[in-house]
Amino acid sequence: MPNGSLIYQLSLAGANRLTWPQRKNIILDVAKGLAYLHYEIKPPIYHRDIKATNILLDSKMNAKLADFSLAKQGSEIQSHLTTRVAGTYGYLAPKYALYGQLTEKSDVYSFGIVILETISSRKVFDNLNSSMDSITDWVWTLVESGMMDEILDESIKR
C-alpha cells in the first residue's frame, strides 16, 4: 500500500501529519470493515489483531484491514467463541484476555484503542513517558483531571 500503515503515518513529523479529515475517514473505513466482518459475513469473522500496524493506507489514504493470520470464524448460534487468547498486548479486550471469550466486542475494544492512537498520535505504550503504563491509563488520567482536550494531537487542534 503506497501510504504504508496507520502507525507509520502517525509517526511521521512535520508536513506529513495526518489532517483531521484524513484521521476521521480512516476511523470510518476501519469501522466499516469491522461491521462487514462482524455482521455481513455469515458466520462472522473476528479479526483478533486490530492495531495501527494492521491498518494499511492506499494512495488516497483509504484504510484497509490487513493481516488476518489470527482471525477466527464465529458461530451464528453461539454468543461467543471460547478460544486460546491471541492478539497484541495493549489492544486486547480485558474480558477476552482474562477468559478467552471472543466476540465482536473484542475487536471493537481494539478498535477503540486504535481511535485513541489516531486522535492523539500516541503509541499504545509510550516509551518516552515512563509514568504512564498505557494509552488507556494516560487518557483516563486526563479525563479525571478535566483535561480531555490534551488527548488530541496538536496538529488537529488548530
**Phi, psi for 69 (deg, rounded to 5):** -65, -25
How many beta carbons lie within 10 A of that of residue 144, not counting itself?
9
Question: Which of 29, 49, 126, 137 is flagged as catalytic?
Answer: 49
Q: Residue 73: CB partners within 8 Å, gap ≥ 6?
A: 43, 44, 45, 46
Closest CA to 74 of 34, 109, 102, 111: 102
Task: Indicate if 49 belongs to the active site.
Answer: yes
Look up residue 84 and give its three cell numbers: 486460546
How many beta carbons lie within 10 A of that of residue 69, not counting itself?
10
| Helices and strands (H and E) in the chain: how many | 6, 6
Which active-site residues does the annotation give? 49
